[in-house]
């Protein structure tokens, strides 16, 4: 497999579901004083939620928070990091690995890496550009949910709408990404007052073959989930988990596993600079 083909597979949207679940981290004080709205169709309900999410995203809010992540990026270890969001990307400082504070030597390495961010902001922004592009793409995919899936079994319980989704057989996916996305079945929940996403999860009930299996096959049972909470007037993603299993051409693995928890959120000036973010993340 060529390098370009490998990059194509690694960047495809069976991993974008993680972004769909996790990108909706912005939040504004919602419509919590209003009465529940009624909707003629599940598509209308989902459309109203998507509109609220888009309105929140347009505000470009920034946060500082603690993150505990176990993923390929962390080498399978649980990394506890302080994270500060900026318009150019997320500034991170590693604090502990597998629950143990990092050594003085490793702390010095982290400080040196942060100093490089301040000294070379363009390089940092370039390295973060792919992630930010993925998030924008994932938002577009979320917008396609009403047409790409059948929305069923809509219920309202304790102020939360629940909607099941499964692939719409009349919808034709337009590319590698949508083929995997379209194979997912699951459910989501929406806060009935704020019309904000609370929970979403999906699973592949059967294998999904890409290019008749010549490019890759994503295995049945691959799944994702995400949970959000209303914290001090803002909706925040507090947990994202994904477990994607698959094989690419020549039997190379395209599996991906991650478990991410966020906590201790603090609202920031949306115009925070990289230098300010580094100074903030380095504070004891």
Tokens of 276: 């300010």
pLDDT of residue 17: 43
Tokens of 103: 């050594």
CA distance 84 to 274: 9
In terms of phi and psi (left: phi > 0; alpha: psi -120 to 50; beta: otherwise), the region of 196 is beta
The pLDDT of residue 7 is above 50: no
In this predicted model, which residue has the larger pLDDT, 22 or 39? 39
> Is 235 in contact with 91 (CB distance < 8 Å)?
no
What average pLDDT does the structure give for the chain?
Answer: 82
Highest mean pLDDT among 21-30, 86-95, 235-244: 86-95
Confidence of residue 181 (pLDDT cuts 50, 70, 90): confident
In this predicted model, which residue has the larger pLDDT, 31 or 22? 22
Q: In what order do the strands lie in the sheet with 256-268?
A: 100-101, 89-97, 78-86, 62-71, 256-268, 234-244, 223-231, 197-203, 185-191, 160-167, 149-157
In this predicted model, which residue has the larger pLDDT, 190 or 177? 190
Please give the residue range of the domain that contains residue 51: 3-281
pLDDT of residue 10: 33
pLDDT of residue 227: 93
The pLDDT of residue 72 is above 70: yes
* Continuous H helices in 144-263: 145-148, 176-182
When divided into structural domains, the chain yields a total of 1
Q: Is the dihedral of CA 43, 49, 55, 61 positive or negative?
A: negative
pLDDT of residue 56: 87
pLDDT in tens, 132-175: 665 666 666 677 788 889 999 999 999 999 999 999 888 887 76
> Is 236 in contact with 27 (CB distance < 8 Å)?
yes
pLDDT of residue 177: 64
- Lowest-pLDDT range of 46-50, 98-102, 241-245: 241-245
The pLDDT of residue 11 is above 60: no
pLDDT in tens, 197-233: 999 998 999 988 876 556 678 889 988 889 999 998 8
pLDDT of residue 68: 98
The pLDDT of residue 25 is above 80: no
The pLDDT of residue 102 is above 80: yes
* Continuous H helices in 225-273: none
Residue 50's nearest CA partner among 20, 87, 15, 13 is 20
């Amino acid at each position: 497999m060529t390098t370009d083909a490998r990059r194509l597979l690694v960047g495809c949207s069976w991993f974008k579901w993680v972004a769909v679940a996790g990108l909706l981290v912005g939040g504004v004080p919602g419509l919590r004083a209003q009465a529940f709205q009624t909707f003629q169709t599940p598509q209308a309900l989902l459309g109203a939620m998507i509109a609220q999410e888009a309105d929140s995203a347009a505000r470009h809010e920034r946060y500082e928070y603690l993150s505990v992540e176990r993923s390929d990026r962390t080498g399978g270890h649980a990394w506890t990091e302080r994270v500060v969001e900026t318009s150019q990307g997320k500034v991170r400082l590693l604090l502990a690995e597998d629950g143990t504070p990092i050594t003085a030597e490793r702390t010095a390495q982290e400080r040196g890496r942060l100093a490089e961010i301040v000294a070379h902001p363009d390089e940092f922004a370039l390295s973060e550009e792919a992630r930010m592009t993925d998030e924008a793409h994932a938002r577009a995919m979320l917008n396609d949910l009403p047409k790409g899936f059948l929305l069923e079994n809509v219920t309202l319980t304790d102020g939360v709408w629940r909607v099941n989704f499964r692939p719409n057989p009349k919808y034709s996916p337009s590319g590698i990404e949508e083929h995997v996305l379209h194979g997912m079945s699951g459910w989501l929940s929406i806060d009935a007052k704020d019309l904000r996403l609370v929970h979403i999860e999906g699973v592949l009930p059967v294998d999904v073959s890409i290019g008749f299996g010549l490019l890759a096959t994503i295995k049945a049972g691959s799944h994702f989930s995400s949970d959000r909470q209303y914290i001090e007037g803002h909706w925040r993603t507090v947990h994202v988990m994904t477990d994607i299993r698959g094989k690419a051409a020549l039997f190379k693995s395209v599996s991906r596993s991650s478990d991410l928890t966020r906590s201790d959120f603090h609202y920031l000036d949306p115009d925070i600079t990289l230098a300010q973010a580094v100074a903030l993340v380095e504070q004891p």
